[in-house]
Amino acid sequence: MDIQIKENETKGYAIAVDNGKIAGKMTYSIPTSAFIIIDHTEVVSAFEGKGVGKQMLYKIVEMAREKEIKILPLCPFAHPMFKKLTEIQDVLKQS
């Protein structure tokens, strides 16, 4: 599974590709240079249950650590993952 991050000034996404096929996409907004908002996760049905969403989330967390920014997870997938996975909570934006 290859996961890449693409972004412009105000939006970004992680895209998961498996053997040339898109497996999923996780999108985020960039309201400031200090944090991003994960707003949507989509996994292609053929790849459901294979950890694609979690892999994309980890890729975005890795990017946030490199840029020293925080993440506000509003997406119905990402929000509970941040509650469950203590190892990624260092990039969680406190409200």
pLDDT of residue 94: 84
Mean per-residue pLDDT, 17-45: 97
Q: How far is CA 36 from the centre of its chain?
A: 10
- Residue 45 above 80 pLDDT? yes
**Predicted structure pTM score:** 0.96
- Residue 95 above 80 pLDDT? no
Q: How confident is the model at residue 87 (pLDDT cuts 50, 70, 90)?
A: very high
CA–CA gap between residue 93 and residue 52 (Å, rounded): 23
Mean per-residue pLDDT, 53-74: 98
Mean pLDDT estimate for the chain: 97
- Asked if residue 71 lies in contact with residue 36, where contact means CB atoms within 8 angstroms, the answer is yes
Q: How far apart are the first and last CA of the chain?
A: 33
pLDDT of residue 59: 98
Closest CA to 81 of 44, 46, 27, 38: 38
pLDDT of residue 72: 98
Query: Which one of 3.30.413.10, 3.30.70.1730, 2.10.240.10, 3.40.630.30 gives the CATH number of domain 2-91?
Result: 3.40.630.30
CA–CA gap between residue 51 and residue 24 (Å, rounded): 10
